[in-house]
Chains A and B, each alone.
Chain A
């Protein structure tokens, strides 16, 4: 640790009695952001793009939470979809069956924020939805504890395999659940809780879950996840995580309880993955079935974290957003040269001499992308089919050229286009 992180260590002088306001402010900002996206953006972009907007939020939660394990702590989990599945199925089951018990059907009982303005502002349905998401997160966290406690004594690659195995076990068990989901209130009334937990839709997936998920809820949870991630990164916990990542032996020698902190990172990540699963389960247009939540989904999240930067919260979030939008963009790729031109001019303006090389690189990239676009249009190739090939290739190239990911441990705003690059927010690496 150098003095560069002094900014974050120094306590903020605050008048007595107003500190709670400071800690509440970001939360209010999160609500404001979620409300802005919900009420401002959603009507303007139509239902399809609204779905993309929600998917971005869910993927941001997943990537940022996995980043706590893979990025901060330097462990390697490739079973994140398993936690997502645990949370998603828990939330879905709670909402679905409680809905029947309380209202006699599994229809929407939410308010404005869940997309049903006729029902008023906040309703019992909203509370049920948020509660079931949180319950899903908690159960996922318990799963994270159970997986983490024994297996985190293992070294990196063994841990990866165990988390993969966990994800697969979850998937297979969900596949074996009873596919017969009752849709009559009378049938549900007769079921015991245990029977409800057995009837999760099997290989066909859990259908009939009411669509509570809206941009507001997704982005509220996403903002909270981001907030927690930032707070954790700058706390003593975060420094312990980062020290484990840099050198386990040295961290242990400095008094960091390795297993305990690894498990904490795991539990935290699993909790948010569970919440993301809950949001996913209640989203319109997604299928909550075990096939969707296999190791391919885990790999998707890993790609976001690795490309964004191992340890960079904003990087992971940005990568999640880009990788979610990319398939939609690739379906009918737009011209890139206007964007490239703007970037080149910008670089040349702010960096003058030093910007020349960057401008040349940008020009080359722009030309290459335009060539790919032209070739794809000419041959009638759908570039979206090549999406995964592209990601995989960039993963390999990234590891060879820039192993810490796009942003490394830095955050996006640590880059100053106008001046010298500032030291990392947390001065490690």
Chain B
């Protein structure tokens, strides 16, 4: 019972982060119909920037005093920088290819992804060996539920992720910009005829998706401070799992991304806890393949028929 609850807490915390990243994938897919491979790199850059800024303003790992103001500063810096990064990527790499075949855009996305991760590993940028993350957010057992400690940090992570998701949900479904996004995803030419500034909407989508990914990067780095991976591959793999979440939930569907994120978190952590901890990636990708086989549109997605 304890194990079950503990796994549940962990999986919800990580699952909500997957959901946050998946939102970026799903929004871009909804509008441009292509997988933004570089999104997991934006997530990674978000985490790297958090390391960098946190060490700069927070000092060494051992001596740092938890401080909400500093954490907020780090979070905002990461979000703003990654927002700018997302904007730049779209502007320089994807916009020239707006009319190109989808395969070309996919290859470009992979190119951008490789570019960012290899550039970031150079010595004068983030280097191949980032420092461990200083613990900027307070962490203590908050309350015990049936013998399971629910930590403050978990609550903060889930809370921040939930707030950001609600914010995104409101942007998409409650604002004029969001209406523009939905219009473009329905049909870009029609939206353009109706006076929607398509290019600006697309840029905006990239910016908010990247901000969400940066926030997820910060939260993940704060939750797992020892995950000081020099290897970018770990971060990329996390981003890929978030993509799986988007597909499982139904790509192009905002609420599907949130649902998929939680679902992937649950599958990964319960598989790790009850089957074999070493095969967590296998469960996630196996679920992906199964979903694509039996319900390619995802849980909340609509099946589309290709017309000639």
Please determine whether chains A and B interact with each other in the same assembly.
yes
Q: Which residues of A contact B (CB under 8 A)?
A: 74, 76, 78, 150-151, 154, 156-158, 160-162, 164-166, 168-169, 172-173, 175-176, 249, 294-296, 299, 302-303, 306, 385-386, 388-389, 391-393, 395-396, 399-400, 403
Q: Check B308 against A399 for contact (C-beta < 8 Å).
A: no
Q: Check B292 against A154 for contact (C-beta < 8 Å).
A: yes
B100 CB-CB contact with A under 8 Å:
yes
B282 CB-CB contact with A under 8 Å:
yes
A to B contact number (C-beta, < 8 Å): 114
Q: Which residues of B contact A (CB under 8 A)?
A: 34-35, 93, 96-97, 100-108, 110-115, 118-119, 122-123, 233, 237, 240, 243-244, 247, 276, 278-279, 281-282, 285-286, 288-289, 292-293, 296, 306, 308
Q: Is the interface of A mostly helix, strand, loop or mixed?
A: helix
In the assembled complex, the CB of A184 is this many whole angstroms from the nearest CB of chain B, namely 28
In the complex, A262 Cα to B77 Cα: how many Å? 47
Q: Given A168-B281, A169-B281, A396-B93, A160 and B114 touching (CB < 8 A)?
A: no
Q: Given A169-B285, A399-B97, A154 and B110 touching (CB < 8 A)?
A: no
In the complex, A386 Cα to B308 Cα: how many Å? 45
Q: Check A160 against B115 for contact (C-beta < 8 Å).
A: no
Q: Is the interface of B mostly helix, strand, loop or mixed?
A: helix
Q: Given A165-B288, A299-B114, A389-B115, A76 and B106 touching (CB < 8 A)?
A: yes
Select which of B100, B279, B296, B308 is within 8 A of A172 by beta carbon: B279
In the assembled complex, the CB of B271 is this many whole angstroms from the nearest CB of chain A, namely 12
> Given A76-B103, A161-B247, list of 7 further CB < 8 A pairs?
A151-B292, A151-B293, A156-B103, A157-B34, A172-B278, A249-B306, A388-B114
Q: Check B103 against A172 for contact (C-beta < 8 Å).
A: no
Q: Check B279 against A165 for contact (C-beta < 8 Å).
A: no
In the complex, A297 Cα to B288 Cα: how many Å? 22
In the complex, A295 Cα to B240 Cα: how many Å? 11
User: Which residues from chain B contact A385 at a C-beta distance below 8 Å?
Assistant: 122-123
In the complex, A162 Cα to B289 Cα: how many Å? 6
In the assembled complex, the CB of B156 is this many whole angstroms from the nearest CB of chain A, namely 31
Q: Given A160-B35, A161-B35, A400 and B106 touching (CB < 8 A)?
A: no
User: Which residues from chain B contact A386 at a C-beta distance below 8 Å?
Assistant: 122
Top 5 nearest A-B pairs (CB, nearest first) are: A395-B111, A165-B285, A392-B115, A392-B114, A388-B118
In the complex, A79 Cα to B279 Cα: how many Å? 18
Q: Check B282 against A173 for contact (C-beta < 8 Å).
A: yes
User: Which residues from chain B contact A294 at a C-beta distance below 8 Å?
Assistant: 233
User: Which residues from chain B contact A158 at a C-beta distance below 8 Å?
Assistant: 247, 292, 296
Q: Check A299 against B35 for contact (C-beta < 8 Å).
A: no
User: Which residues from chain A contact B35 at a C-beta distance below 8 Å?
Assistant: 157, 160-161
Select which of B100, B110, B289, B308 is within 8 A of A165 by beta carbon: B289
Q: Check B293 against A395 for contact (C-beta < 8 Å).
A: no
Instruction: List 29 A-B pairs, Cβ < 8 Å.
Output: A76-B106, A76-B107, A151-B292, A154-B292, A156-B103, A157-B35, A157-B106, A160-B35, A161-B35, A161-B288, A162-B288, A165-B289, A168-B281, A169-B281, A169-B285, A176-B276, A302-B107, A306-B107, A385-B122, A386-B122, A389-B115, A389-B118, A392-B112, A393-B115, A395-B107, A399-B100, A399-B104, A399-B107, A400-B96
In the complex, A154 Cα to B303 Cα: how many Å? 13
User: Which residues from chain B contact A74 at a C-beta distance below 8 Å?
Assistant: 103
In the assembled complex, the CB of B28 is this many whole angstroms from the nearest CB of chain A, namely 12
Select which of A295, A392, A403 is within 8 A of B118 by beta carbon: A392
In the complex, A269 Cα to B44 Cα: how many Å? 32
In the complex, A386 Cα to B288 Cα: how many Å? 34
In the complex, A303 Cα to B108 Cα: how many Å? 11
